[in-house]
Every structure is written in C-alpha cells, then in structure tokens.
C-alpha cells in the first residue's frame, strides 16, 4: 500500500500503481471533474501518474498555478496538432510550445506566413480537437528511439533538443490522436478538459532566442476553465490597451522617451505636476509617521560598493566611471549611502527606531529589449527608507510600516495582498536572528488580519521580506511595496548602538519602499485611472470655457480667484464652438469643465460638467470653489 498525505494532514492508503485520477475519484467525483493535475512532494504531475511511493499529495484545479499550467500546456499541443492538420503542404516543423503566465505559445518553422485569418482557422480546428476529447498518453522512450522517430518525421528542432539534453535525462513523449510531441509534461488527461480558448496574435521569435538562429513564427493564445472567465480576461486586455500608459502619456503630454536617452524618461510640465503631487503626499505621510528625510550622492567610490557587496554581485547592472584615477559607480541602490549617514554619529538605544527616508535617484543598466515605458527604465527615483531598530522593536516597527502602506494605497483606491518570503538555503546570519525576524514579519501580518501567502525559501540572503501586490481597477496586480529585514549590511558596515547596558549592540535594519519607483508608480496610476486622475493629482483641475468674447472677463475673474486659492485652472477662450471645446476638455480628462455665459455671468454662477458626465449642474461660483478645495484637501478619488 502507498500512503498519500493530503494538505490537511489526512492520509489516504491506496494500492501501489493506482493512478492519481482514481485516487481523486475515490475522494470525490465532483473534485475529479475539476481536477487538472496533481502535486506529488511538491512536483506537478499528470493525473494518470501511478502512486508508487509514500508522498505528500495535492489535487490541482484551475485555481492552482499547477492546474492552470497543465491546461494551457495541453492547449499548446492542441494548437500544434491543429497547425499540422491544416497546413500539411507547408513543411511545418515544430519548435517549442510551453505554457506561460497567462496563456501559452508555440513556435513554428513553416513556409506559409500566418495571418489573422489563419489564426481564426487554427482556433476553429483546435475546438474540433477539443470536441474529439482525445486522451493524452505519456510514453518514456530510449534516447536513440526518440531521435530516430523525430528524424523520420522531419522534426529537426526536436532532434536538436534531444541531442542537447544530458544523457541521464528521461525522454518522454505525449500522444493525442495522430499527434505526438516531445514533452516532459505535465498535461491534463484529455483535450476535452479545455473549455475556453482563444488565439491572440502571431509574432516573430528567434529559435532559442538567439539572433544567430532562424526566425520562427510564434502563435500566442490563452485558455481558461470557463468561457465567462476567458471573456473577462479578454475584456481586461482590451481595457489595458486603452489604458496603456505610453499612449496616454503622449496624449496627455505627461512624459516622453527619446532615442538620445533610451530608458531615461523625460517628464513634461503636466507630468511634473503629477510627480510633484505624489512626492508632496509622500513627504506629508512620512513626516506624520516619524521619518526624517535624507539625501545621499549619486556617485560613490568603488570601496563603498565593495563593502556593500554590489561591486562583486551587481556590477553588470551598474554604470561606472573613473575620477582622479579611482573607480566610482553611479548608485543602483540607496542603501549604502544610508549606512554612512547612520554611521556618521554615535547612537543610543533611545534613538531607535530611527527612520531615514530618501527619494534617491538610482541608475541600473537594463537590457534594451527589456525597456518598457515607465515600467522598466534605466534611471528612476526610489522612495527608500532604512529603519534601524533593536531586535525587540521588529514586530512593532513592521506594524507601523504596514499602517503607512495601508494609508497610502487606500488613498489611491488600490487594494493589496501580501507575500511573506522566508529563509533561502544560501543565507547568512544565525538561526536565532532569522527566527526572530521571520516571526516578527508573520505576527505583524496576522495581527492586522491581512491575507498573505508564504513563499518558502524565497527571501533575500540577508533576511526575510514582505512584498505587497496591488490590485488595480481592471483586476491586474502590481508588486510595489516591500519590507525587507537585513542582518547583513549592519554587520558589513559595522553599525552599532549603545544599549541600556552601556555595551555596543548591532541594530537590525529594515529596507522598505511604498511606491517602489516613482516612475513605475506613475505608470501604474495612469493605467489604473485611465489618465483621469483624481482632482488633487490632475495637471489641470478646472478648465473654464467662456461662450463668447463678452464672457471672457468673467472667465478671467473666475480663473484668478481659483488660482489664488491654489487651484490649477485654465481658460479656453479660443474662437471655437463651445461643444468642440467641451469635447476637447473631456479628451484631456479635465476633472471639471465650466461653461460660462450670460446667465452665469449675471448670477455669479458656473455650469459644471464633471469628467465622464454629459449633464451640467449650475451652482454658485463660490460653492464650486469650496467643493474643489475640499476634494483637493481630502485627496478624494471621486469628482
């Protein structure tokens, strides 16, 4: 008998060789219908895998990453089978076809240049294969047999893959109907498990990612458990395309990117308003939470980066220079500078916790192919803080930091979840310190009642961490905030404080960022709000439209009154139709558009149209100004 231990600790005994699918059926028929794969001792496997030894066992559905991977991996095989069926006369050779985070792809070498019409045909054939409900059968074969088989089929890329595998690797194939592919798996039990699929695009891709190799055609697709889930995902992609921060950045004149500085963004006046409002808010919050702001140099000597370890472990991402025949580096991180500020004077336990915050400009060499708008750049401002605490202050300080994070994210209407990453195998520091640090992070999360998952062994080598994943208005998640406990840098820089006992002690340091990168956070906010920022962040908060020239003086009087009260306001007195100017104001996503004519001028009122609304509301000008001031003061999200 084989003992399978379930996640809740229960143990099921089954006969040796029983397939995992049969095990699941014994547990629950309804669960068996949802099951897509299984986990044995942490490894994702097919449900047709036999139970041959005692192991930890978990059933994987589409709700699990392993279940989604198995379903989408099967979809890539279905797509390859469909292409082989449809284009027999096009010398189709198969390359690779993995599952990826939100879907799958397959690379093809074929004479025919695929079009959108071809994708529709391929998708139609895929749905036929799904209806055929073909079983996927795994077979392990000798290396020589695998090479001979794929040579006979003319699959040169498969032969190359096999020949490059180590001699001791098990060669396996999966067969569904007439189609057989080289594959390690895992897969679902049959093609009929795929309920909702969509092919999305075709693009060029070099074989094995090298420009020296042949350009192949890569078809991207996605698959979900239910059609409504697929529809929701496709709708989200449509929304994301509309919200692309690069497109909106141009349309709203926020920032630009130029060939003269790839990866180095240029912020325009409108973008600087958004940026400065974020920084003003950041400073206000940090002042209330007891932080002191510092600033450290952009260029520092090699000796410093050797002490921190960056010169040896991060140099390929650093920009370096020579000054007075000595090596220097432009900082990729703010941490070492913060160490020197702490070390510049003696500290007592009474000084701790000491919270030093910095809006530091950092530079990192990113590959040109990885650059992406404001999301992946080569210079950015990191809203760092380095907190120096005694061991018994760890939990309280983490709780204090989470309070700050919660306030900031709620201000922007962003919900979040947390991930706790624990000690990796390659780490430094004592078991006692790691246990203290990890428990401090965990207790702080639990005391707040926060949803969190644990990533075992995924912490930094110098300490555990909490990552905060924000959820935006269309359901995407972004990793922004981080709290990291560091027991390495205080030791490397020999940081100390004098304790109550009069002896020197080593402080524990917390690294933390809220926005992460100002540039990236602005990109996230552009997409979250689709460019329609809350009034406190909007570059132009109010746009006044006089109907005719005789209303221009009243419009200017309103403008001066609002400007003097700190409101960002413009008058559009061009000789254009009012309807045209209203539409343009909406395109520019102005929170409030005021139309003023005879009635408004006589009554000292304004006709207010909020962004996104068709109707206007007439109200006294003084009341409108008070409303806008209140919205700004409260940093309200709604207009």
Tokens of 436: 């203290």
Report yes or no: 340 and 386 within 8 Å, Cβ to Cβ.
no
- Catalytic, 511? Answer yes
Q: Which of 118, 384, 467, 472 is catalytic?
A: 384
- DSSP bridge pairs for 267: 255
Tokens of 527: 């997409």
Integer Cα distance of 138 and 177 in angstroms: 12
In the block, which residue shows the tokens 């972004």? 478
Q: Which of 386, 520, 543, 609 is catalytic?
A: 386
DSSP state of 564: H
Integer Cα distance of 414 and 284 in angstroms: 19
Q: Find, among 82, 70, 56, 27, the residue nearest to 189 by Cα.
A: 70
DSSP string, 120-174: HHHHHHHHHHHHHTPBPEEEEE-HHHHHHHHHHTT-HHHHHHHHHS-TTSPEEEE
Integer Cα distance of 281 and 591 in angstroms: 20
Q: Which of 245, 465, 512, 559 is catalytic?
A: 465
Integer Cα distance of 194 and 44 in angstroms: 18
Integer Cα distance of 639 and 631 in angstroms: 7
Report yes or no: 162 and 114 within 8 Å, Cβ to Cβ.
no
Tokens of 103: 């879907």
- Catalytic, 551? Answer no
Q: In what side-by-side order are the strands of the sheet with 542-546?
A: 569-571, 542-546, 592-596, 605-610, 617-620
Query: Counting Cβ atoms within 10 Å, is residue 369 exposed (0-12), middle (13-18) or buried (19+)?
Result: exposed
Q: Find, among 33, 29, 58, the residue nearest to 45 by Cα.
A: 58
Integer Cα distance of 277 and 538 in angstroms: 9
Q: In what side-by-side order are the strands of the sheet with 171-176?
A: 137-141, 171-176, 179-182
Q: Which of 75, 183, 335, 480 is catalytic?
A: 335
Q: What is the b/e burial string over 544-579, where b = at least 16 CB atoms within 10 angstroms of the residue's CB?
A: bbbbeeebeebbeebbeebeeeebbbbbbbeeeeee
Helix (H) or strand (E) segment spanning residue 179: strand 179-182
> What number of residues does the chain have?
639
Integer Cα distance of 197 and 561 in angstroms: 57
* Contacts of residue 47, Cβ cutoff 8 Å, sequence gap at least 6: 19, 20, 21, 24, 35, 36, 37, 38, 188, 189
Q: Which of 176, 382, 393, 601 is catalytic?
A: 382
Q: Find, among 401, 395, 365, the residue nearest to 383 by Cα.
A: 401
Q: Which of 511, 512, 588, 631 is catalytic?
A: 511
Tokens of 513: 């960022």
- Catalytic, 335? Answer yes
Report yes or no: 596 and 558 within 8 Å, Cβ to Cβ.
yes
Helix (H) or strand (E) segment spanning residue 276: helix 269-288
- Catalytic, 90? Answer no
Q: What is the set of active-site residues?
A: 335, 364, 382, 384, 386, 465, 511
């Amino acid at each position: 008998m084989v003992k399978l231990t379930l996640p809740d600790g229960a143990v099921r005994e089954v006969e040796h060789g029983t397939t995992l699918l049969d095990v699941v059926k014994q547990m629950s028929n309804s669960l068996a219908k949802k099951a897509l794969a299984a986990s044995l001792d942490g490894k994702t496997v097919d449900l047709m895998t036999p139970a041959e030894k005692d192991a930890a066992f978990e059933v994987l559905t589409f709700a699990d990453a392993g279940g989604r991977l198995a379903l989408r991996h099967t979809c890539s095989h279905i797509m390859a089978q469909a292409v082989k069926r449809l284009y027999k006369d096009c010398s189709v050779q198969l390359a690779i076809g993995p599952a990826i985070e939100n879907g799958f792809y397959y690379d093809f070498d074929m004479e025919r240049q695929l079009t959108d019409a071809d994708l529709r045909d391929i998708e139609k054939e895929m749905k036929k294969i799904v209806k055929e409900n073909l079983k996927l059968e795994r077979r392990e074969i000798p290396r020589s047999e695998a090479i001979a088989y794929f040579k006979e089929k003319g699959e040169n890329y498969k032969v190359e893959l096999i020949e490059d595998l180590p001699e001791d690797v098990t060669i396996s194939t999966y067969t569904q109907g007439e189609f057989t592919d080289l594959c390690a798996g895992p897969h679902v039990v049959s093609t009929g498990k795929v309920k909702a699929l969509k092919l999305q695009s075709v693009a060029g891709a070099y074989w094995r990612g090298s420009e020296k190799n042949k350009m192949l055609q890569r078809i991207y697709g996605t698959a979900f458990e239910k059609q409504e889930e697929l529809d929701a995902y496709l709708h989200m992609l449509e929304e994301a395309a509309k919200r692309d921060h690069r497109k909106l950045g141009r349309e709203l004149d926020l920032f630009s990117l130029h060939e003269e500085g790839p990866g180095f963004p240029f912020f325009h006046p409108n973008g600087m308003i958004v940026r400065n409002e974020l920084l003003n808010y950041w400073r206000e919050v940090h002042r209330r939470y007891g932080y002191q702001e510092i600033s450290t140099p952009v260029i520092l000597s090699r000796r410093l980066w050797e002490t921190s370890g960056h010169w040896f472990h991060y140099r390929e991402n650093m920009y370096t220079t020579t000054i007075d025949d000595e090596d220097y580096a432009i900082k990729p991180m703010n941490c070492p500078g913060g160490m020197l500020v702490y070390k510049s004077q003696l500290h007592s336990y009474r000084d701790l916790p000491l919270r030093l915050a910095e809006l530091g400009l950092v530079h990192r060499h990113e590959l040109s192919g990885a650059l992406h708008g404001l999301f992946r750049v080569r210079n950015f401002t990191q809203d760092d803080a380095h907190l120096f605490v005694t061991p018994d202050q760890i939990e309280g300080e983490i709780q204090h930091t989470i309070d700050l994070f919660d306030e900031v994210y709620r201000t922007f209407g962003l919900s979040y979840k947390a991930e706790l990453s624990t000690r990796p195998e390659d780490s430094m520091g004592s078991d006692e310190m790691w246990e203290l640090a990890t428990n401090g992070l965990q207790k702080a999360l639990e005391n707040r009642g926060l949803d969190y998952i644990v990533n075992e062994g995924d912490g930094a080598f110098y300490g555990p961490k909490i990552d905060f994943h924000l959820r935006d208005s269309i359901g995407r998640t972004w990793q922004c905030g981080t709290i990291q406990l560091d027991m390495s840098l205080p030791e490397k820089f020999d940081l100390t404080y004098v304790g109550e006992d009069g002896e020197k002690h080593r402080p524990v340091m917390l690294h933390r960022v809220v926005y992460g990168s100002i540039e990236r956070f602005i990109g996230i906010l552009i997409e979250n709000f689709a460019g329609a920022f809350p009034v406190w962040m909007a570059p132009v908060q109010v746009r006044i439209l006089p109907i005719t020239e005789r209303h221009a003086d009243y419009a200017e009087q309103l403008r001066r009154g609002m400007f003097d009260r700190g409101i960002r306001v413009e008058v559009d007195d061009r000789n254009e139709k009012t309807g045209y100017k209203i539409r343009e104001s909406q395109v520019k996503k102005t929170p409030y558009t005021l139309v003023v004519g005879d009635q408004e001028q006589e009554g000292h009122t304004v006709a207010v149209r909020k962004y996104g609304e068709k109707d206007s509301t007439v109200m006294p000008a003084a009341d409108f100004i008070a409303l806008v001031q209140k919205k700004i003061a409260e940093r309200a999200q709604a207009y």
